[in-house]
Structure 1
Amino acid sequence: MATAKPLYQQLTQQIKGYPPEEAREMAFMLLDHYFGLRKTDVLTDKPLPPNRTEPDWSQIVNRLNRQEPIQHVIGTTIFCGLEFEVSPDVLIPRPETEDLVRLIMHDFTERTDSVKILDIGTGSGCIAVTLARFIPQADVMGWDVSDEALAMARRNADQLNADVTFEKQDILNVTDAELRKFDCVVSNPPYVTRSEAAAMDRNVLDYEPGLALFVDDNDPLVFYKAVADFCTRHLTKDGACYVEINERFGEATRQVFEERGFRQIQVYKDIHGKDRSIRATF
């Protein structure tokens, strides 16, 4: 009877070009995705499912060895405990963004009145869908400039039974939004400068959308200025704006909000001690 541990060891040995711990994590993810085997199942050498459909392991390993993200290989990723479809059309959700979502949930989950939330640059829809799922009283909207991203966000919302309205909007040129007010505006906008690209891994540069990643070095805070300007007109009196930020520009981004009249501005650090998000209110 075929068991999990030999296959896990085979995959770990065949996945090249990654640190050993990362290769092991990929092997665990593959066995979980294709056979529903958790880490403990693999480590205790549980039998492989007898009626399993065996994937083409050599093709999968070759894709990984070309630095293609494993999330693209299996087509999904886990974000805040929910499984989202991903592709090269959207950014792969990161743990840092989970922290941003948890901050919003902490602030709004216990409110009993309706909460209007806008996610600017929704991508896969991970922020908007998660907030809609975990804040029952929320009325959630997601914006993106990419048709492909919006199509994926809608699929994720449907698959996860989340009530989210999606619209095509460019925060740098918003149309038909003059009468709208939101209690929460959240955004994880492009914030990696072009000059930082040289230090990035191939699995990001070659496989994730530059439109959602990069911003020109001569105006790296352009999207934060646009989001903050939008909030001055569309955030309710007691509302809050939440953004994920470039660690290099924590103080500069804080000043963007301060210059636009925000009075309570908190910069939060990630698990590595780097400036990673801001919460701002009037």
Structure 2
Amino acid sequence: MTWTINKILEWTTDYLKKYNTEWPHLEGEILLAHTLGVKRIELYVQHERILSEKELAKYKALILRRSKHEPIAYIVGNQPFMSLELEVTPDVLIPRPETEKLVEIALEEAKNLKGTVKIADIGTGSGAIAVTLAKYIPNCEVTAIEISEKALEIARKNAEKFGVANKITFLKGNFLAPLANRKFDMIVSNPPYIASAQIKTLMPDVRDFEPTGALDGGEDGLKYIKQLLEQAPALLSDKGYLIIEIGEDQKAKTLAAAQNFSNPKVLKDQFEKDRVFIARYS
């Protein structure tokens, strides 16, 4: 059988629907563009192009992986975040649009800080937050903490890729421990915040493939959020910011635990969900 781009995408849509993937046609386009080494728009321009046997075999192998709910980002090895395309592997959490909101808020608040802005990113993972802040805040020094050496390797690669390796210090360690006796103008974090019992209820794309350590926030999901609220004041300069991504149902408990901060609040993400805690310490 002769397979054109059009025909293989029609087949893919029907095939992936059987496995209840989220966006069958879009996923097919992304994986086909990746297979052919072209941009998605070119699939429309070349819709009658015939695939070679080698291209077809490579593409179907990727579709098989997706049918087992392996995330697209892991299959193609990258994920768009803000205006950057970050390298990702199964060793790191896939950066989400919700986290872009945290970065947007941090970028806006950084405008209120003078001199060199000292930032700590706790649990940096792929480096999404650290790299983006370093890229778009001209006068900043970022310290990025991560307990996983493999995740740190990915974060370092992303820092190199976007030309900000000289602005970021990567440290291996457990949460805030590597930062003892230092002061920062801003501490940011997308910590694990899903309750342990809820992990098994997550979509298979997340539950079966993404690192559990980057998801599991303990019994109530607030283990690491509370640690940040308790320990960050000792590391913040006067009027320094603490900015944390939280679960959409954690607003009340997070604010209740934020007694050390002045005017704490939780802002909504682009999906109108309570998502980003922000407060200043003084």
- TM-score scaled by structure 1? 0.88
The one-letter code matched in structure 2 to 1:123 is: G
What secondary structure is seen at the aligned counterpart in 2 of 1:25? Answer: helix
For each residue in 1:112-135, what CA deviation from the matched residue of structure 2 results, as whole angstroms up to 9, or x when unmatched? 621011100000111101111111
1-structure distance, mates of 2:245, 2:71: 22
Q: Are residues 168 and 48 of structure 1, via their aligned partners in 2, closer, same or farther at CA, if it must alter by over 3 Å?
A: farther
2-structure distance, mates of 1:229, 1:236: 15
What is the match of residue 236 of structure 1?
237
Residue 278, structure 1, aligned to residue 277, structure 2: yes
In the TM superposition, 1:108-119 aligns within 5 A as 108-109=110-111, 113-119=115-121
For each residue in 1:175-213, what CA deviation from the matched residue of structure 2 results, as whole angstroms up to 9, or x when unmatched? 4x3331111100111110122123211111110111110
Contact preservation (8 Å) 1:241, 1:279 = yes
In the TM superposition, 1:1-282 aligns within 5 A as 4-15=5-16, 16-18=18-20, 22-35=23-36, 37-45=38-46, 54=55, 56-109=58-111, 113-163=115-165, 164-171=168-175, 174-175=177-178, 177-217=179-219, 219-257=220-258, 259=259, 261-282=260-281
Contact preservation (8 Å) 1:114, 1:139 = yes
1-structure distance, mates of 2:19, 2:86: 26
For each residue in 1:30-77, what CA deviation from the matched residue of structure 2 results, as whole angstroms up to 9, or x when unmatched? 2343445445443454575999x8361121111001111111111111
Q: What is the RMSD of the two structures over their aligned residues, measured on CA atoms?
A: 2.6
Residue 229 of structure 1 deviates from its aligned partner by 2.5
- TM-score scaled by structure 2? 0.88
Range with greater deviation from structure 2 (71-80 or 32-41): 32-41
Q: Are residues 74 and 179 of structure 1, via their aligned partners in 2, closer, same or farther at CA, if it must alter by over 3 Å?
A: same
What secondary structure is seen at the aligned counterpart in 2 of 1:214? Answer: coil
For each residue in 1:200-256, what CA deviation from the matched residue of structure 2 results, as whole angstroms up to 9, or x when unmatched? 111111101111101221x53221222122321111112111000012211101121
2-structure distance, mates of 1:226, 1:123: 18
Q: Are residues 110 and 226 of structure 1, via their aligned partners in 2, closer, same or farther at CA, if it must alter by over 3 Å?
A: closer
Residue 157 of structure 1 deviates from its aligned partner by 1.1
2-structure distance, mates of 1:281, 1:4: 53
What is the aligned-residue identity percentage?
35
1-structure distance, mates of 2:111, 2:38: 33
Q: Are residues 94 and 226 of structure 1, via their aligned partners in 2, closer, same or farther at CA, if it must alter by over 3 Å?
A: same
Report how many residues are paired.
276
1-structure distance, mates of 2:201, 2:37: 35
Residue 18 of structure 1 deviates from its aligned partner by 2.6
Q: Are residues 245 and 33 of structure 1, via their aligned partners in 2, closer, same or farther at CA, if it must alter by over 3 Å?
A: same
Residue 8 of structure 1 deviates from its aligned partner by 2.8
| Structure 1: runs of 5 or more not aligned | none
What secondary structure is seen at the aligned counterpart in 2 of 1:153? Answer: helix
The one-letter code matched in structure 1 to 2:174 is: D
Contact preservation (8 Å) 1:8, 1:42 = no
Contact preservation (8 Å) 1:263, 1:281 = yes
